[in-house]
Structure 1
Amino acid sequence: MRLTQPQITQVWADRGYAGELVDWARDRLWLTLRIVSRPKGTAGFVVLPRRWKVERTIGWCMNARRNARDYERLPQHSEAHLNWALITMMTRRLTRKSPRTSHWTKKTP
């Protein structure tokens, strides 16, 4: 990732990636690796910051039936199918006649 996307300087990771990887990413890749963990004293399901955006996007990609399973032999084919699914999703949103209200955005009075 660092070779193809040098403008990325910060990455968020799950708690499982904490430890030596944070130092290694800083020293070798010049990346800031931020660990997203659960707030202390919480039980059950908790929406974690930044993580829900990734999970939501993966959910949107999985709506395309071909992306629900990994049938491809080459990673480039899988990447092309993901791009195809995201382009399809964005063109549908751009050509929508009326804007859809979302419960994720704040309503201004």
Structure 2
Amino acid sequence: MCAGEPSAAVIDSQSVKADVTVALTSRGFDAGKKVNGRKRHLLTDRLGLLLAVLVTPASTTDRDAGRILLSTTADRFGRLARAWADGGYTGRLVDWSATQLGVVLDVVRRSDDTQGFQVLLRRWIVERSFAWCLRSRRQVRDYERRTDTSEAVVLWSMTMLMSRRLAARHRQRPAPRLEEAA
């Protein structure tokens, strides 16, 4: 366990259309979003940085994918104690994650009387991460034949994003003056 490990995370999924190159066995239909394709399940830290990704057919429920994603992540990050999710992760997953993994899963719900767009506490973090991924043209649709390749493309996209940020931060630092260097 390292002090730099995350203690909290945000989990959500995004349904994307699949290209014709995607095999029928690895795609499904998300009836809620009316999308024939795949789902990307992301687990991010509180800054929106990617901790884990899982790509499944779009017909996979969030609870089933959340169980896989949380169990692999809890093994990797020992300090993980809390996760925030949307209403798709309710039910047995909340109890299972608390008893089996020791991770408290808080479901952040939208109020029933709200109409239109509303920023929800904690959940906007992972939504912003999805938006960062979609800035890569290749992420708008799933073109990959295999799900593990699709996961690698998401990791590549986030790696490119972070390397650009680090390079920009490095360029912003002023060069040390000669008096300070000596």
Q: Same fold per TM (> 0.5)?
A: yes
Deviation for aligned residue 1:40: 6.5
Percent identical among aligned pairs is: 42
Match of 1:102 in 2: none
Match of 2:21 in 1: none
Please give the alpha-carbon distance, in whole angstroms, between the structure 2 residues aligned to 1:50 and 1:43: 19
Amino acid in structure 2 at the alignment position of 1:74: R
- TM-score, length-scaled by structure 2: 0.47
Match of 1:44 in 2: 116
Structure with higher strand content: 2
Match of 1:54 in 2: 126
Are 1:9 and 2:70 counterparts? no
Amino acid in structure 2 at the alignment position of 1:12: W
Are 1:27 and 2:103 counterparts? no
Please give the alpha-carbon distance, in whole angstroms, between the structure 1 residues aligned to 2:123 and 2:135: 19
57, 81, 96: which one pairs with 2:153? 81
Q: SS in structure 2 opposite 1:3?
A: helix
Are 1:90 and 2:171 counterparts? no
5+ residue gaps, structure 2:
1-71, 174-182
1:7-66 Cα offsets, whole Å, 9 max, x none, are: 322111112322332112212222211010124653332100111111111111111111
Q: SS in structure 2 opposite 1:37?
A: coil
Q: Which has the bigger relative contact order, CA under 8 A and spacing at least 6?
A: 2
Please give the alpha-carbon distance, in whole angstroms, between the structure 2 residues aligned to 1:17 and 1:89: 28
Please give the alpha-carbon distance, in whole angstroms, between the structure 2 residues aligned to 1:16 and 1:82: 22
Query: More deviation in 84-93 or 34-43?
Result: 34-43
| RMSD value, Cα | 2.4
5+ residue gaps, structure 1:
100-109
- CA 1:40–1:71: 2 relative to 1, 3 Å: closer
